Amino acid sequence: MTSSHPSGSRRKGRLFLFIGVPLVFVVLLLSYVRWGLVLHMTTGGSDSMAPSYPPGSSVAYRPAFDDKGLTRGRVVVASFPGEKGILLQRLAGLPGETLRISSEALEVDGRAIPWRELGTVDSSGIEPSGPFTVPAGRYFLIGDNMKNAYDSRLRGTFPRASILGIVEPER
């Protein structure tokens, strides 16, 4: 026999408030800390990543708590020390690598990687540059629109702490 007494449903409601709500909060917090399940949003402000991400594009990104996921070709959200704002750039060079750049390919430690393998990089008409050696704990970032990008070729490598997150690909 079930009780239709209102105090029984009140007890269940209180039980949920005192146990269920904190439990849900703890699970969400642990998920965020462990897996970065919470996505952040930002807006690109320049044409350095056009046409992939035109100025004003909104992107979702996963916080980069560690180096996991920081692989060549991924688009990242970064800030440069001493500068205001954030920017979108494509990860081209990892710590310890030596890079050379031409309009045909990115050369990494003597091995040529065609630009199309990294994403939608427009390298037409750029002057060859390098070698660039990426120091430990730093990353070499480039803009897809290489003719108009103020990236690691000009500003230098980015410290790991400056990489805020990894852009989630559109599905």
Residues 79 and 13 in one domain: no
**What's residue 37's pLDDT?**
47
**What's residue 93's pLDDT?**
97
- Please state the rounded mean pLDDT for residues 100-105: 93
- pLDDT of residue 159 exceeding 70: yes
**CATH number reported for the structural domain that contains residue 116 in this entry:** 2.10.109.10
Distance, CA of 157 to chain centre: 16
Quote the longest CA-to-CA distance of the chain.
84
Residues 119 and 57 in one domain: yes
State the Cα–Cα distance between residues 103 and 147, nearest whole angstrom.
Answer: 10
Nearest to 95 by CA among 140, 153, 134, 69: 134
How many domains are contained in the chain? 2
Return the residue matching tokens 């803009």: 143
Burial bucket for residue 87 (CB in 10 Å: 0-12, 13-18, 19+): buried
**What's residue 89's pLDDT?**
92
- Please state the rounded mean pLDDT for residues 119-131: 88
Q: How confident is the model at residue 105 (pLDDT cuts 50, 70, 90)?
A: very high
State the Cα–Cα distance between residues 91 and 42, nearest whole angstrom.
Answer: 18
Strand 98-101 relative to strand 87-93, pairing: unpaired
pLDDT in tens, 16-32: 666 766 766 666 655 55
Q: Classify 25 as helix, strand or coil.
A: helix
Q: Classify 27 as helix, strand or coil.
A: helix
pLDDT in tens, 54-70: 888 888 888 887 788 89
Domain residue limits at 117: 40-167
Residues 142 and 123 in one domain: yes
